[in-house]
Amino acid sequence: MTARSLESGAPARERAASPSLWARIWQNDAPGYLFLLPWLIGFFGLTIGPIITSLYLSFTDFDLLTSPDWVGADNYIRMFTNDPKFWASMRVTMVFVIFSVPLKLAFALAVAMLLNRGMRGLPLYRALFYLPSLLGASVAIAILWRQIFARDGLVNDFLSIFGIVGPSWISSPQYSLWTLIILAVWQFGSPMIIFLAGLRQIPQDMYEAASLDGAGKWRQFVKITLPLLTPVVFFNAIIQTIEAFKSFTPAFIISGGTGNPINSTLFYTLYLYQEAFGFFRMGYASALAWVLLALVGVFTAFSFLTSKYWVHYDD
Amino acid sequence: MATSIQLRQLVKAYGDLEVIHSIDLDIDPGEFTVFVGPSGCGKSTLLRMIAGLEPITGGDLLIDSQRMNDVPAARRGIAMVFQSYALYPHMNVYQNLAFGLETAKTPKAEIQARVQRAAEILQIVPLLQRKPKQLSGGQRQRVAIGRAIVREPKIFLFDEPLSNLDAELRVQMRVEIAKLHNDLGNTMIYVTHDQVEAMTMADKIVVLRLGVIEQAGAPLELYNNPKNLFVAGFIGSPKMNFLTATEDGAGLKVAGATLNLPRAVAGATTLGIRPEHITLTQGSGIKIADLRVDLVENLGGQTVVYATTSDGQSVNIVLEGQAPVDLGSTVTAYADPARLHLFNANGDAI
């Protein structure tokens, strides 16, 4: 007998005596995988599967009824060279992101700072201010918004008290996108809650030391509150920007799914939806979706790369 | 010229709850004053009122005879060192030190010079570019003191600055703060609950309890002549022994025996003796009581004896050197009558 077979002899006997490796795995781990199964099915069947499929479809011509035709990069080339609606929708979404996110964050921070002053009934106010965030993305609120900003809506009723005749905010191309930005800003609740939690983490004696150092409220805000809050600002900015890029329902409801007037509310996602489910150009819609994903990915990566220069972590 | 502080009938109340009751106190220029007392006695509140971090409800705060009640904290000429250090975590040591000066729009060159000088005093020059999280507790403490020094304030306030440090470092920083006071000569107020810190650092100790001053004076004054039971028990370590006393025709009776006291004892209900003032040999003292020895701690330099009287009252004794005391034996305690303290039923010294 060689040394080699001597060495392998013992484990072989052991294996023969005990149940096989697979049986053991099955016995030990099966219940775990069983509990995971619904999520695994969902993750692979409903998330990863469609993502990969859509990547493939983005290189095809596909109308849902006939099988997809491979067209190479044609969809992408057309998008960037020969599709004014793509650029229009990109512009609308960019304007929406650039204005709604900073405004929302600023508003959320302002309200959080107000609430952080230890007022009576804080839990009530917190809940009330959070409410729009819960309802905001819903169809009902979008409909309500349409009523408020319509020609004979609440806003114009209010303006008429001062003798001002307001336009129809949602059907005029100058204003329609801004009503959607206001609607987004109004949903400041969830970043506000996170800001509030962040503000609570800043020790009071930091402000006391600063006030002894002669720093007024504004300097305290700029030099202490804001820097110490940057991790929270960073988190909120990323989440809200991604949300803003994905924003769909309000524009869909308020413009009746058209993105009108004159494409002024044609959000990128709305255009994508039209291409996919209006014109059944699934291949092109998939390409649009991948461009959006890339855009969000680039933005997020850029944020993380720059974060080390402006986000202060305590530890 | 250092700065004087006067508190006149100073009151602090939160709604109906009064926590500082009409306090009068004079702090002389250049004095190192220590506020000491158990937690909740109002010592930190009083300090914060002087700092301008707590509004004053009633009375007057005078700094160099100027009423300061309504002057903002930054314009009272004070700097404060916080228990938590309160360093700005996102700024390096240099920026932490410079913050107050930058706020005051001090010229850059002067900021640099003052930061450098403070850093040299505190030996933190190599740390100037570090963030607070990269510093040890002791180093943070130095930076916190440095932040006070650079502002060249008239008054330094310290709010339990050493309580987050370990014992060894605490002793070291205690010495350094005392040295700093000697070098700078500023008026300083220091809050602590540690009576050893108070005894070792203070020119004047202010003992507070429940928002009133129990006694204020030089450390040895408080040690030798405590005004009441509370001060007697608070100042000195180990604590003063208190024995129940009753008056009989012949004098003061303690633990069943009458003391041969050469002074009036009318009204006395408690006899106080510091552990270090008890001897087990008669010498010049009078006999206090016979004691049963429960425990002996030999510390080398001194011996601590825990004993009880025949009626069950405990007495601690600190003897110099390595005294041969046997566990369970009976010893007789003697003390110099001049070192005995008598208190009446209200707890006031007689």
Q: Are B288 and B178 found together in one domain?
A: no
A150 or A59: whose pLDDT is higher?
A59
How much of chain A is helix, strand and coil, in % rounded to 5?
A: 75, 0, 25
Q: Are B36 and B86 found together in one domain?
A: yes
From chain B, pick out residues whose CB is under 8 angstroms from the CB of A312.
89-90
pLDDT average, residue stretch A187-192: 86
Answer yes or no: is B60 within a domain: yes
pLDDT average, residue stretch A176-201: 87
pLDDT at B348 over 60: yes
Q: Are B136 and B222 found together in one domain?
A: yes
Answer yes or no: is B323 within a domain: yes
Check if the beta carbon of residue B234 is closer than 8 Å to that of residue B195.
Answer: yes
Residue after which a domain boundary falls, among B183, B216, B234: B234
Look up the CATH number of the domain holding residue B150: 3.40.50.300
pLDDT at A65 over 90: no
Write down the pLDDT at residue A1.
Answer: 40
Q: Are B222 and B314 found together in one domain?
A: no
Write down the pLDDT at residue B329.
Answer: 92
Check if the beta carbon of residue A207 is closer than 8 Å to that of residue A220.
Answer: yes
Q: Are B153 and B286 found together in one domain?
A: no
Answer yes or no: is B24 within a domain: yes
pLDDT tens sequence across B32-78: 999 999 988 999 999 999 999 999 999 999 999 999 999 998 889 99
pLDDT at A12 over 60: no
B56-84 burial, b if ≥16 CB within 10 A, otherwise e? beebebebbeeebeeeebbebbbbbbbbb
Write down the pLDDT at residue B1.
Answer: 65
Q: Are B218 and B324 found together in one domain?
A: no
Answer yes or no: is B253 within a domain: yes
- How many domains, in total, are found in chain B? 2
pLDDT tens sequence across B113-159: 999 999 998 889 999 999 999 999 889 999 999 999 998 899 999 99
Q: Are B193 and B95 found together in one domain?
A: yes
Of B79, B90, B133, the CB nearest to A228: B90
Residue after which a domain boundary falls, among B234, B266, B291: B234
Look up the CATH number of the domain holding residue B329: 2.40.50.140
B342 φ/ψ sector (left φ>0, alpha ψ -120 to 50, else beta): beta
Answer yes or no: is B74 within a domain: yes
From chain B, pick out residues whose CB is under 8 angstroms from the CB of A228.
89-90
Q: Average model confidence (pLDDT) for chain B?
A: 91
Q: Are B76 and B198 found together in one domain?
A: yes
A226–chain B nearest CA distance, Å:
11
CA B227 to chain centre: 16
Answer yes or no: is B211 within a domain: yes
Give the residue on B whose Cα is nearest the Cα of A224.
B88
Q: Are B27 and B140 found together in one domain?
A: yes
Cα–Cα nearest to B47, from B89, B81, B95: B81
Strands B17-27 and B241-248: unpaired
Classify residue B55 as exposed, middle or buried by CB count within 10 Å of its CB (0-12, 13-18, 19+): exposed
Alpha carbon distance B98, A187 (integer Å) = 40
Q: Are B262 and B194 found together in one domain?
A: no
B318 or A129: whose pLDDT is higher?
B318
Classify residue A262 as exposed, middle or buried by CB count within 10 Å of its CB (0-12, 13-18, 19+): exposed
Domain, as residue range, for B276: 241-344
Alpha carbon distance A266, B181 (integer Å) = 71
Q: Which of A202, A212, A313 to mutate to test the interface with B (most CBs of B within 10 A)?
A: A212
* Cα dihedral B291/B297/B299/B303 (nearest 10): 10
Could you tell me if A227 lies within 8 Å of chain B, comparing CB atoms?
yes
Give the residue on A whose Cα is nearest the Cα of B100.
A213
Counting residues of chain B whose pLDDT is more than 70, the rounded percentage is 100
Q: Are B197 and B247 found together in one domain?
A: no
Residue after which a domain boundary falls, among B234, B251, B286: B234
Report the DSSP beta bridge partners of residue B79.
B156
Answer yes or no: is B349 within a domain: no
A99, two tokens: 């204005």
Cα–Cα nearest to A239, from A133, A145, A135: A133
Check if the beta carbon of residue B151 is closer than 8 Å to that of residue B118.
Answer: no
Counting residues of chain A whose pLDDT is more than 90, the rounded percentage is 35
Alpha carbon distance B43, B212 (integer Å) = 9
| Least confidently predicted of A149-153, A190-194, B15-19, B200-204 | A149-153
Could you tell me if A120 lies within 8 Å of chain B, comparing CB atoms?
no
Chain-chain contact of B104 with A214 (C-beta, under 8 angstroms): yes
B289, two tokens: 């009581």
Cis peptide before B238 (omega within 30 of 0): yes
Write down the pLDDT at residue B307.
Answer: 94
Cα–Cα nearest to B219, from B233, B208, B206: B206
Write down the pLDDT at residue A143.
Answer: 78
From chain B, pick out residues whose CB is under 8 angstroms from the CB of A214.
74-75, 100, 103-104
Classify residue A10 as exposed, middle or buried by CB count within 10 Å of its CB (0-12, 13-18, 19+): exposed
pLDDT at A161 over 60: yes
Q: Which fold has domain A84-310?
A: MetI-like fold (1.10.3720)
Chain-chain contact of A205 with B103 (C-beta, under 8 angstroms): no
Q: Are B99 and B71 found together in one domain?
A: yes
Could you tell me if A306 lies within 8 Å of chain B, comparing CB atoms?
no
Of B86, B89, B99, the CB nearest to A208: B86
Residue B19 DSSP one-character state: E
A52 phi/psi in degrees, rounded to 5: -65, -40
Q: Which of B91, B99, B145, B152 to mutate to test the interface with A (most CBs of A within 10 A)?
A: B99
From chain B, pick out residues whose CB is under 8 angstroms from the CB of A315.
133
